[in-house]
Amino acid sequence: MRIVLALSFLALTACPSEPADNGGGDGDGGNNGPEPAACTQRGYSSEITVGDEKLDITWPISRNGPAKPHMGATTNLPDLSCSPQEAGQSVPSLMLACVSIFGPGETVVDLDVDVWTVSDTDPALRDPEASGRVVACSEITHEDAELQALLRQECEDQCDADGMAVIPGAPGGVPVVARVRTSDVDGSGEVDVLDRVELPYVDTWTNGIWLTPPAWGGEACAAVDCGEGTNCFQGICIPEHTGFANFVAITEQSYASIPLVAGVGAGIEGSDDLLDGQGRGAIAGTVYDCSEGDGILGAAIGTTNVDNRTKVTYFTGDIPSPVLRSTDGDGVFAILNHEAGATTLAAVMHKQWCTDAADCSCGGLSGDGLPADCTDQACLEAQMDGKTAELALIGSNRIFVYPDAVTIASVRPGR
């Protein structure tokens, strides 16, 4: 889901001797001894440098101390060793796009899906490179009857029978950004409040998706001889440049209710009118390691545009938690009431932490990654010096945020 970035790391200045205002730390302040270092206390934030940009990160400190990534259901440290996927030359491809609902919604049929190649320019300022509309599985049509039957079956299997957008000419072999939005349901010539009554979804942008190719071949293809430009899938010859994608549509109700539960005052600025293109927006996503689909526990998120009106939120299951300062085991996060425009999103985690908080050096961001060859807590703690707190960068992502909309942008190592 992301642009390949060259990441450089600069050391941070040491923590001040007096702790910052941290909103309720766990220190042994008062007359009980020296104050613990600020970076061991809840709510501490510092500036880091990613590439040539600076951003503030609130360190992953829970009420019980540093959020250690090997806590929870697994004792394995996340794998951050993978190299980013390199984009090739864009190839026109047949995109088979599933759209799922986040929040209380009844259907995704008639939502529009527009697709662009990821670049440094705002996709909203460019014409889509490919577009399609979600239709019910039973309504998918194709001039080739065999392919039509296959597409309908794949829709049933891959999209939980909700519907699928079949989009020819989509960019393949490169990361793409897609926008899912309410279509002109009533044919009035514009998307208006009447259309949003029928399909109450905010614009949802998914950033950095790569098309997933089908599982070519297999027993069903043993006796099938496909011609040039096609490959066999499930016994049917289909275009060799075909790929699956999964997008999400976020309901207006979720857009309004999640900020309130997360403690964002009256909600996201401008959400009183979701059609005027004014106000702020939101970011949501997951922090992954190199394993397929494994979220990272204990990751903290920040962007270059977070201010005192922005709320970084982490989730316990499907519920936003006002007290978490880092990701739970599924790695899910949201940034609410975020300023519109281009921004860099970054995720960090603890590389090492202080066991003696009163005599702690705040080392900031380290470019060395996690300690090597550690797969359990005992090994990791053996490599800690006990007197240094440092963060490791997991990855970053250059994205765009829009008013009255959500940008889905996950973070993986090396991005």
If you count DSSP H runs as helices and E runs as strands, how many of each does the chain have, helices first?
4, 22
- Residue numbers of the chain with a pLDDT score lower than 50: 1-30, 72-74
* Inter-CA distances, 337 with 2, 225, 289, 346, Å: 22, 54, 27, 17
CA–CA distance, 250 with 410 (Å, rounded to integer): 16
Q: Where are the domains of the chain?
A: 38-83+267-408, 91-252
Take residue 251 and report the two structure tokens written for it.
């309901």
The values of phi and psi at residue 209, to 5°, are: -70, 140
What's residue 353's pLDDT? 81
CA–CA distance, 44 with 21 (Å, rounded to integer): 8
pLDDT digits (tens, 9 = 90+) for 372-406: 656 666 776 677 777 888 898 999 999 999 999 99
What's residue 375's pLDDT? 60
CA–CA distance, 350 with 58 (Å, rounded to integer): 12
What's residue 81's pLDDT? 81
Q: Is 292 exposed, middle or buried (0-12, 13-18, 19+ CB in 10 A)?
A: exposed
Q: Which helix (H) or strand (E) holds 334?
A: strand 332-338
What's residue 17's pLDDT? 31
pLDDT digits (tens, 9 = 90+) for 224-273: 999 999 999 999 999 999 999 999 999 999 898 888 877 777 789 999 88
CA–CA distance, 298 with 320 (Å, rounded to integer): 15
The values of phi and psi at residue 247, to 5°, are: -125, 170
CA–CA distance, 373 with 380 (Å, rounded to integer): 9
What's residue 3's pLDDT? 27
Q: How many other C-beta atoms can be found within 10 angstroms of the C-beta atom of residue 369? A: 14
Please provide the distance, in angstroms rounded to a whole number, between the alpha carbons at the two ends of the chain.
9
Question: Residues, the chain, total?
Answer: 415
What's residue 114's pLDDT? 98
Q: Is 13 exposed, middle or buried (0-12, 13-18, 19+ CB in 10 A)?
A: exposed
User: How much is the pTM?
Assistant: 0.85
CA–CA distance, 290 with 81 (Å, rounded to integer): 7
What's residue 317's pLDDT? 81
The values of phi and psi at residue 145, to 5°, are: -60, -40
Take residue 385 and report the two structure tokens written for it.
């010096």
How many CA atoms does the CB half-sphere of 297 hold within 13 Å? 17
Beta strand 242-250 with 281-286 is unpaired
Q: Is 400 exposed, middle or buried (0-12, 13-18, 19+ CB in 10 A)?
A: buried
CA–CA distance, 66 with 362 (Å, rounded to integer): 13
